[in-house]
């Protein structure tokens, strides 16, 4: 009797989608970890289990609109994100253009979502680490606005969202998940147009 050969979960994905954050329960739900929250939303929306580990990252393999993807949460601290992301990129044989990085942004209003095909770090230590180790800034990224707040920067980014802010943040996370669907269905240019549309998050 012949058995159906299982599909290896580690076969190269067409996209590596990375959400940035800090590991540990003390950082769960903080503004700086909204990238992790986005990965959770994408995983839930597409029934992808984050049940693998590789190169200091929690991983999930699956498909979005028929396109194979890997979802990743680096378990290094934020300013060491490149130590996890770059080995993943290399092990999957991907180009920087196939790596989508999702992170928080202080300079965007709370709940606003913006996507770019490439760009500078904008002062974000996660992007600084990835760009330095990948030796390029030419990878797409999604920014989720967390607002600047009245506190010192470090206190603000490590604070949790207020109950009245959750509606906007949850809407932003859904918008990011939908943007990833558009990315897989229609490509990067269409995804950027969708992510940045005025009536979006």
Q: Active-site positions?
A: 32
Q: Which of 100, 95, 21, 22 is nearest to 64 (CA)?
A: 100
Longest alpha-carbon distance in the chain:
67
Q: How far is CA 1 from the centre of its chain?
A: 43
d(CA 148, CA 23) in angstroms, rounded, equals 22
d(CA 69, CA 77) in angstroms, rounded, equals 23
Share of the chain residues as helix, strand and coil, in percent rounded to the nearest 5 = 40, 20, 40
**Which DSSP category does 80 fall into?**
G
């Amino acid at each position: 009797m012949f058995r159906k050969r299982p599909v290896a979960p580690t076969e190269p994905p067409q996209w590596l989608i990375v959400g940035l954050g800090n590991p540990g329960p003390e950082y769960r739900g903080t503004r700086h970890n909204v990238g992790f929250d986005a990965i959770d939303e994408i995983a839930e929306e597409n029934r992808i289990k984050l049940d693998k580990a590789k190169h200091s990252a929690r991983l999930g393999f699956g498909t979005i609109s028929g396109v194979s993807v890997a979802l990743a949460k680096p378990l290094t601290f934020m300013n060491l994100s490149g130590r996890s992301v770059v080995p993943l990129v290399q092990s999957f044989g991907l180009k920087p253009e196939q790596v989508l990085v999702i992170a928080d942004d202080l300079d965007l209003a709370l709940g606003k979502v913006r996507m770019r095909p490439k760009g500078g770090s904008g002062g974000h230590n996660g992007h600084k680490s990835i760009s330095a180790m990948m030796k390029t800034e030419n990878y797409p990224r999604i920014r989720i606005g967390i607002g600047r707040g009245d506190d010192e920067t470090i206190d603000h980014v490590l604070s949790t969202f207020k109950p009245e802010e959750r509606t906007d943040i949850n809407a932003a996370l859904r918008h990011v998940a939908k943007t990833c669907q558009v990315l897989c269905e229609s490509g990067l240019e269409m995804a950027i147009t969708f992510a940045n549309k005025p009536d979006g998050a």
